[in-house]
C-alpha cells in the first residue's frame, strides 16, 4: 500500500488478514508518523510502543498459524484519556489524577482489542471532557492539523487530531453533548454518536465508581471513512451486564448493510432548529452537501419556515444551559470531595463549571426535565414525517486552539452560552443517533460538517445515509499534509 498513514482502516485490516502487510509494519509506520507530527499537534499524550509492537508480533504469529485474529486485525488504536487501558494512566486531563492507573480495560477497549486492534497510546482531552476545545493543565493544548492555530474540538480532540493527521486509523471517542461530532466536524472526519446504550458505558472514574444519572454519554467511532465507523461499531455494540442501560445486540451487521439505504426517503433540512445561528460559509457548504441527497433521489425539505410557525412543526427547545448545568452537577457529585481537597490543582474554567453544578436542586432539575419532555415530543412529531434530519454539525469553523469560543456569528452576538455548539447537544438529551460528515471547506480552508440525525435506535439508517453521501461526495482523498 502506498500511504499507510491515510489508508482506510478496513483496507489496512484486509491487507493484514491477507498477509499483504504485517501488523508489525503497520504499527511501526504509525509510531513513525506520531514521532514526526505529534510534537506539533499534541494529540497523543501517552505512548506504549514496546507493548504495541509485542501485540503486533503476536498478531502476525497467529495469522501465520492460520488463526482468525478479528476484523480489526493489527489496526493501531488511540484511546481517549477518559477511557481505561489496563496498565496505562487515565488522567482525565486532570492534575490530581495524572498517576491514576486502572487495572482493567474499559468494555469498549476490551472489545476492540478482542477484534484485533492494538493500543498505541492515549489521546488528549480537556479536563474530564468538560469542554469543546482540548487543553488541560497536565498535557497542554492540542492543535488542529488543518491549521495549527485552531482547535481540533473537544472533548475527543486528541483522537480527532490523530485521525486527521494520519497517526492512527482508529481512535476511541465519547459524546456527552457533542464530543464525537464536534471534533469530527472541525477536522473533516466521520464521527457517530450512536443511540444511547448502543455501546456499553460502565461506571467509571477514580475512587468509588458512580452510576451516571443523566443518560447522555455515548461511546462511538471517530474515523476517516464511514465504512471504518461501521467496522468499529460492529466490534463494540451490544449489551454488557455492567451497563444496565446497554441495548440488546443490533439485529444486523452495520458493515453488511452499509450500502442498503432505502430509496426515496423524506429528509428534513434545518439551518436553525428554531433557535441557532450559523456562519454563512458553513451554511453554504451544508446546503450544497444536502443537495447530494436530492441528486440521489430523496426528497429534501427545508423546514425552517415551519419551525418559525407557518406549518405543522414547532422549533426545538434550546437545552444548552440545562445540559451544561446538569452535566456539571453529575461530575461534581462524582468527584466533589477530591475537588474540595485539591482546588488549586484543577483548571479555572472547570472549577467555575463545578461551582454552578453543585448548586443544582430539584426545582431546576424539574424544569430541565419538563423542557426535555418537550424536546422528545417535538422530535417525535418531526420523525413521524421525516426519515432523517440534516443540520450543520456546528455553527462555525474551528476557533483558536486555546480559545476563546466564538462570541458572534456573521457579526451578530451569540446570545446562548452554548450557541457555539448549538446543534449537537439536543440529540444527547433525546438519545437519537447522530453523525457528522464533511460538508466542504469554509473560505478559510477549514472543514465544515453536516449532521445526519436518525430516528431513535436507527443507527444503521444514519450510517447508510452517511455512506451514500460519502460515495456521492468523497472526502477521503484530501487531508492536511503538515
Evaluate if residue 310 carries a pLDDT over 80: no
Tens-digit pLDDT profile for residues 365-378:
999 999 999 999 99
Q: Which domains does the chain possess?
A: 9-472 (3.90.1300.10)
**459 CA to centre of own chain:** 14
pLDDT at 22: 98
Question: Mean pLDDT, to the nearest integer, of 261-267?
Answer: 98
Give percent of the chain with pLDDT exceeding 70: 99
Question: Mean pLDDT, to the nearest integer, of 313-320?
Answer: 93
For 213, the 3-state DSSP assignment is coil
Band the pLDDT of 316: cuts 50, 70, 90: very high
Q: What are phi and psi of 361, to 5 degrees?
A: -125, -175
- Share the mean pLDDT of the chain: 96
Q: Count CB atoms within 10 A of the CB of residue 241.
A: 8
Residues labelled catalytic: 80, 155, 179
Evaluate if residue 56 carries a pLDDT over 70: yes
pLDDT at 67: 97
- For cell 491477507, name the residue: 18
Question: Mean pLDDT, to the nearest integer, of 35-64?
Answer: 98
For 436, the 3-state DSSP assignment is strand
Question: Mean pLDDT, to the nearest integer, of 55-75?
Answer: 98
Closest CA to 448 of 238, 311, 281: 281
Question: Mean pLDDT, to the nearest integer, of 204-231?
Answer: 90
Q: Count CB atoms within 10 A of the CB of residue 413.
A: 9
What is the rounded distance in angstroms from the CA atom of residue 286 to the CA atom of residue 288? 5
Tens-digit pLDDT profile for residues 420-477:
999 999 999 999 999 999 999 999 999 999 999 999 999 999 999 999 999 999 999 9
pLDDT at 209: 81
> pTM for the complete prediction?
0.98
pLDDT at 417: 79
The one-character DSSP state at 262 is P
Closest CA to 194 of 237, 252, 227: 237
pLDDT at 1: 64
What is the H or E stretch that residue 42 is in? Answer: none
pLDDT at 211: 87
Amino acid at each position: 500500500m502506498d500511504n499507510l498513514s491515510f489508508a482506510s482502516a478496513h483496507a489496512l485490516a484486509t491487507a493484514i488478514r491477507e498477509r499483504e502487510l504485517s501488523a508489525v509494519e503497520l504499527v511501526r509506520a504509525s509510531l513513525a508518523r506520531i514521532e514526526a507530527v505529534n510534537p506539533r499537534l499534541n494529540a497523543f499524550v501517552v505512548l506504549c510502543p514496546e507493548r504495541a509492537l509485542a501485540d503486533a508480533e503476536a498478531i502476525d504469529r497467529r495469522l501465520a498459524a492460520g488463526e482468525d485474529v478479528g476484523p480489526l486485525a493489527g489496526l493501531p488504536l488511540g484511546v481517549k484519556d477518559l477511557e481505561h487501558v489496563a496498565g496505562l494512566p487515565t488522567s482525565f486531563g486532570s492534575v490530581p489524577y495524572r498517576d491514576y492507573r486502572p487495572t482493567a480495560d474499559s468494555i469498549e477497549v476490551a472489545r476492540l482489542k478482542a477484534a484485533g486492534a492494538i493500543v498505541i497510546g492515549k489521546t488528549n482531552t480537556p479536563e474530564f471532557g468538560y469542554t469543546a476545545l482540548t487543553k488541560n493543565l497536565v498535557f497542554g493544548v492540542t492543535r488542529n492539523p488543518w491549521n495549527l492555530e485552531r482547535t481540533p474540538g473537544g472533548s475527543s480532540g486528541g483522537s480527532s487530531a490523530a485521525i486527521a493527521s494520519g497517526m492512527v486509523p482508529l481512535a476511541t471517542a465519547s459524546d456527552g453533548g457533542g464530543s464525537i461530532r464536534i471534533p469530527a466536524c472541525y477536522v473533516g472526519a466521520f464521527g457517530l454518536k450512536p443511540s444511547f446504550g448502543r455501546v456499553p458505558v460502565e461506571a467509571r472514574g477514580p475512587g468509588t465508581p458512580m452510576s451516571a444519572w443523566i443518560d447522555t454519554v455515548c461511546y462511538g467511532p471517530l474515523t476517516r471513512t464511514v465504512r471504518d465507523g461501521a467496522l468499529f461499531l460492529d466490534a463494540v455494540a451490544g449489551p454488557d451486564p455492567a451497563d444496565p442501560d446497554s441495548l440488546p445486540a443490533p439485529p444486523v451487521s452495520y458493515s453488511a448493510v452499509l450500502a442498503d439505504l432505502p430509496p426515496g426517503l423524506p429528509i428534513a433540512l434545518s439551518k436553525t432548529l428554531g433557535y441557532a445561528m450559523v456562519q454563512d460559509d458553513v451554511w453554504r457548504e451544508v446546503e450544497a452537501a444536502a443537495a447530494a441527497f436530492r441528486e440521489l433521489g430523496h426528497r429534501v425539505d427545508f423546514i425552517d419556515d415551519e419551525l418559525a410557525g407557518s406549518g405543522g412543526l414547532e422549533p426545538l427547545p434550546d437545552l444548552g444551559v440545562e445540559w451544561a448545568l446538569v452535566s456539571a452537577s453529575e461530575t461534581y457529585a462524582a468527584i466533589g470531595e477530591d475537588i474540595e481537597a485539591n482546588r488549586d490543582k484543577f483548571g479555572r474554567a472547570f472549577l467555575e463549571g463545578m461551582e454552578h453544578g453543585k448548586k443544582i436542586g430539584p426545582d431546576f432539575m424539574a424544569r430541565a426535565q419538563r423542557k426535555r419532555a418537550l424536546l422528545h415530543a417535538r422530535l417525535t412529531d418531526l420523525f413521524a414525517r421525516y426519515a432523517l434530519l440534516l443540520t450543520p454539525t456546528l455553527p462555525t469553523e474551528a476557533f483558536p486552539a486555546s480559545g476563546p469560543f466564538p462570541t458572534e456569528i456573521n457579526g451578530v452576538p451569540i446570545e446562548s452560552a452554548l450557541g457555539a455548539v448549538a446543534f449537537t447537544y439536543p440529540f444527547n438529551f433525546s438519545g437519537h443517533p447522530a453523525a457528522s460528515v464533511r460538508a466542504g471547506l469554509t473560505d478559510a480552508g477549514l472543514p465544515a460538517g453536516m449532521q445526519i440525525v436518525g430516528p431513535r435506535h436507527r443507527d444503521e439508517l444514519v450510517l447508510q445515509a452517511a455512506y451514500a453521501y460519502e460515495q456521492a461526495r468523497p472526502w477521503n482523498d484530501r487531508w492536511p499534509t503538515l
